[in-house]
């Protein structure tokens, strides 16, 4: 299962365009953050980690305007 997921991911990455630094206006919006509301995700994770057998996954990501 893991292998299938990995291959699909790599394939989807090949669809990327190279975005120029000045084209990142939309990506810079707060609503475009990978996690726009940190507390919401934190509290949800608390609930689901306590009520389900699965844990983890989210990690930390990049993105945003890529400034500086």
Partner 1 sequence: MHIYAFHTLMKFTYKALTPTLFFALLTLSHVARSDYPVAPEFTLPSQDNPIQLSKLQGKLVYVDFWASWCRPCKTSFPWMISMKEKFKDHPFEIVAINLDKDKTLADAFIKSQAINFPVAFNPNADVAEKYGVEGMPSSYLVDAHGHLRIRYTGFWNKSKDEKEQMIKRLLKQMKNTTNTTANTTHLVEE
Partner 2 sequence: MQLKNTQREANLSTQTNKVDNQNKTSIKSKLTMATCALLQAGAPAAQAETGDWNVDAATLYYSEADGRVSIFEPVVNVSKQINEDEYLKFKLVYDVLTGSTPYGAVPTTTTQTFTKPSGNGNYTTPAGELPLNSSFRDTRVAGGVDWTIPFDRLKNITFGGNFSKEYDFNSLAASATYAQDSSDRNRTYTVGLGYTSDTWDPVGGKNPELTYMRIGGTDQNGKGGTDSKTTTDFMLGLTQVINRSTIMQFNLGFSNSSGYLTDPYRFISVLESDGTLTPDSNIPTDARPYLYEKRPDTRSRNTFFWRTVHHLNEDVVNVSYRYFTDDWGINSHTLDFRYRYELGGSHYLQPHLRYYTQSSADFFANYLLESNVATTDFISADYRLSEFVGTTIGLKYGFEIDKNSEFTIRTEFMNQTYTVQDEILAEQQGLDIAPDLNAVIFQVGFNIHW
C-alpha dihedral sign at 49, 61, 25, 9:
negative
Binding residues among 24-53 for partner 2 as defined by CB under 8 A: 24-53
Binding to partner 2 by residue 11, rule CB under 8 A? no
Tokens 């057998």 -> residue: 53
Give the Cα separation of 6 and 3 in Å (integer): 5
6 or 65: CB nearest partner 1: 65
32 or 45: CB nearest partner 1: 32
Q: Please give the residue ranges that form the binding site for partner 1 (CB under 8 A).
A: 20-25, 28-29, 65-68
């Amino acid at each position: 299962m893991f292998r299938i997921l990995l291959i699909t991911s790599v394939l989807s990455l090949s669809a990327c365009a190279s975005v120029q630094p000045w084209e990142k206006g939309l990506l810079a919006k707060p609503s475009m953050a990978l996690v726009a509301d940190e507390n919401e995700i934190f509290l949800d994770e608390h609930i689901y980690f306590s009520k389900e057998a699965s844990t983890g996954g989210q990690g930390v990501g990049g993105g945003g305007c890529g400034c500086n």
